[in-house]
Amino acid sequence: MSDGLDIHHGGAIAVDTEALRDVAGRMLAVATHYREARSAIGSAHASVAADPGLRPLVDLDGLWASGQHVAQLRAEVEEASAGTFLMADAFEVVELRAEARALEITGGPGAADVQARLDRLLASDERLGPMADYLDAGWRGGRFAGLDAQFDLSGQLPQVFSAGGLIGATAGLGKLLPGMTLKGRAEPVTVTAVHRSGSATPPSSLAGALRAMPSSGGAQIAVEKLVMPSGETRFVAYIKGTQAGMPGPGDDHEPWDMTSNLQLYTGRMSESYQATLDALAAAGAEPGDRVDVVGHSQGGMIGSHLAMESDFEVGVLITAGSPTEPTLDDDQLLVQMSHTDDVVRSLAGGGSPDGTGSPDSFTASRIGSPGRWIDDVWLATHSLDTYVETAEMVDDSADPRAVALDDYWAELGSAVSVERTEYRAERSDTR
């Protein structure tokens, strides 16, 4: 797009493979109509040519040329259909390779079936392996675009930023594989409601969802409790990013700090995650309830684990600048906003080449801060404000997946009542 925004299903996956095969099948149906039209034109040409009375009235050369043109169109559509089927197979090879790697790591069932399907697919067409390699290489080459083009700072800053991408790509901690759960126990936290509104309005856009982050009394979590027309009660949690650096004087009670970042990134329970669970419980959410999540930075990591391992039913997860990418089920919608020059986001390793979540899930990526500017020093490309700008671009996009979000906002807007509570969490121990 002209604004640099790229909306895609996964790193190397442009669209859902089954949707691509459906398009290819529709093309074949069109080719069949062209074949029938060519046959009809041929029959008409033969009939006119055999009738001395009609020959002078019809341009036989023009009729023949029309038949040839239709035949050429049929050949072009059939070729496009075959190419689309081939591309769908190449996308599936990328997906199966990633699935096979995940099963190898986690030891999950079905590894042999996945490998067998992959082997059959690769054996069906010798072009598929190189095509999948090309797709994967293209993703790897562009996933950190702009990361090494930061403000120079005597030549040091670009190298520091590139190191984030290197860690994300090699450590393997940024991609949460199936079965991964947080280990250990969190230290005690105290969660207090600092603001409550009994007549809140849910967001009506992606940018509005990011703007709905808590803003009262140092709150890190906001929970909206919605009563739907059906009588169902559901919740939406808005979770902030890091609020403090390493614990020190004056901020040793802040759970949204670098300690929690490190714990979450390395797969350990954090006080910020526990505080989020406590806030949801305080808002009335119970196991099995529908809880959707919007998270920025550390909030995205928390949301990822909520979606993968909590007792809540997370149907929609929206993240901005998250250092991790979850692996979600086919009935969970994942919307990720990613700046390729965001060093924090780069810790996710560029995400995954195969995509995750429902077929309507997507990642919206762009270079958040093109060029070398002094604001690179304080991570402007990672800021919530910059991600709000990206969300506004998504809201204005004509991409079908972005447009489909309008149905979700309309669904939230149909709630008969919305109660919003903002919570402030503090560590109970002194550090």
**Per-residue pLDDT tens digits for 308-358:** 999 999 999 999 999 899 999 989 999 999 988 787 887 776 556 556 889
Assigned token pair, 380 = 């402007």
Strands 316-320 and 233-239: unpaired
Q: Which residue has the higher pLDDT, 256 or 114?
A: 256
For every residue of 369-431, DSSP letters joined together read: S-S--GGGTTTGGGSHHHHHHHHHHHHH---HHHHHHHHHHHHHHT-SEEEEEEEEEEESS--
Q: Tell me what pLDDT residue 11 has.
A: 55
Whole-number Å distance between alpha carbons of 290 and 316: 9
DSSP letter, residue 325? B
* Neighbour order of strands in the sheet with 333-339: 6-8, 362-366, 333-339, 316-320, 290-296, 233-239, 221-227, 417-427, 189-197
Tokens read off for 82: 């075959």
pLDDT the model gives residue 135: 66
* pLDDT (0 to 100) of residue 131: 75
Helices 271-282, 258-265: inter-axial angle, 10-degree rounding: 90
Q: Which helix (H) or strand (E) holds 291?
A: strand 290-296
What rounded mean pLDDT belongs to the chain?
Answer: 83
pLDDT reported for residue 356: 82
DSSP β-ladder status, 333-339 and 290-296? unpaired
Tell me the whole-structure pTM to 2 decimals: 0.69
What confidence tier does 156 reach under pLDDT thresholds 50, 70, 90? very low
φ/ψ of 193, rounded to 5, equals -75, 125
Top pLDDT among 107 and 237 is at: 237
What is the secondary structure of 42-65 as a DSSP string? HHHHHHHHT-TTTGGGS-HHHHHH
Q: Where are the domains of the chain?
A: 16-141, 146-427
Whole-number pLDDT of residue 102 = 67
In the block, tokens 């995509």 appear at 355
**DSSP states along 250-283:** TTTT-SSSHHHHHHHHTTB--HHHHHHHHHHHHT
